[in-house]
Amino acid sequence: MRAFLKSIPQLRRLRYRLMQLKHGTKSEADEVDILADLAATTAAPKTFVEFGFHPVKFNCAAFANEPEWRGLLIDGSAEQVEDAKVLLPTWIDIRNSFLSLDNLDFIRTKFERLGILSIDVDGNDYWFLEKLIGIGPSIISIEYNASFESASVTVPYDPTFVRHQKHPTGWYHGASLAALAKLCREHGYGLAAVSTYGANAFFTKSGNLDPAAAWKPNLERNAWSGTTSTQQWEAIKEMPLVAV
């Protein structure tokens, strides 16, 4: 029944509106609150780019509804993009695009000064950040893969990367916190926060957390799979990985 209801746009969007009324602008855990605090303390420009998003629950959701903010949302799902265009304010630029390293230029030139860059694509996250970090966002929000534990690794770049096609568990994707922290450190960013559920990391120019100490397991993944991050690592450690 749930799948049937989701297949009807009007009913699906009604459900999303009810979610908005009940829960407000929330992300998966405490990402919205973390970003709000960082945006205030860093005096970040009121602009954001987020790709890989849900029409209601996404990291920059609170900013999207503020008229003084401008944002660009990108997702590879046409359905999610069309839903977002109905649900979100008209001043937010919402685009349907399956991103690769060859088509990121429109992101690089969208804003003269970027406040927040948020990346969650369950695949080429590391490689996209490497290509875009030169924009110089005030805040970087990026999903890390806790299943990689302390290894400084990322999946190899693949422009057609689809997480569950690569490995049936869905645990093989993205990059470890150690790998992302190293990349950010090379460009003058430090780790500023990690989300409660161990899914997203936040970097700023003033961040000074130790990634090894700040690392958290992905509590949601552990719960639904009935496994630990160590067990997840054992299942995927022989998959192709790039040490960084």
pLDDT tens per residue, range 37-82: 999 999 899 999 999 887 777 899 889 989 999 999 999 888 889 8
pLDDT at position 27 over 60: no
Gap between the Cα atoms of 213 and 216, Å rounded: 9
pLDDT in tens, 3-12: 555 667 666 5
pLDDT at 29 (0 to 100):
66
Contact indicator for 135, 117 with CB cutoff of 8 Å: yes
Residue 41: partners with Cβ closer than 8 Å, 6 or more residues away: none
pLDDT at position 182 over 50: yes
pLDDT at 30 (0 to 100):
87
**What share of the chain in percent tops pLDDT 70?**
88
pLDDT at 62 (0 to 100):
87
**What share of the chain in percent tops pLDDT 90?**
77
pLDDT at 185 (0 to 100):
98
Question: What's the number of CA atoms in the CB half-sphere (13 Å) around residue 237?
Answer: 11
More confident residue, 244 or 62: 244
pLDDT at 77 (0 to 100):
86
pLDDT in tens, 218-241: 999 999 999 999 999 999 999 999
Helices 78-87 + 9-23 axis angle, to 10: 60
pLDDT in tens, 192-226: 999 999 999 999 999 999 999 999 999 999 999 99
Average pLDDT, the chain: 91
Gap between the Cα atoms of 69 and 65, Å rounded: 8
pLDDT at 7 (0 to 100):
66
Gap between the Cα atoms of 143 and 120, Å rounded: 5
pLDDT at 210 (0 to 100):
98
Strand (E) or helix (H) holding 107 = helix 105-108
Q: What is the mean pLDDT of residues 168-173?
A: 97
Reported in sequence order, the residue ranges of the chain that DSSP labels E, i.e. its strands, are: 47-51, 70-75, 92-96, 116-119, 139-143, 153-154, 190-194, 200-204, 242-243
More confident residue, 155 or 7: 155
pLDDT at 80 (0 to 100):
86
Q: Of 82-91, 102-111, 175-184, where does mean pLDDT reach its minimum?
A: 82-91
Secondary structure class of 157 (helix, strand, coil): coil
pLDDT at 92 (0 to 100):
94
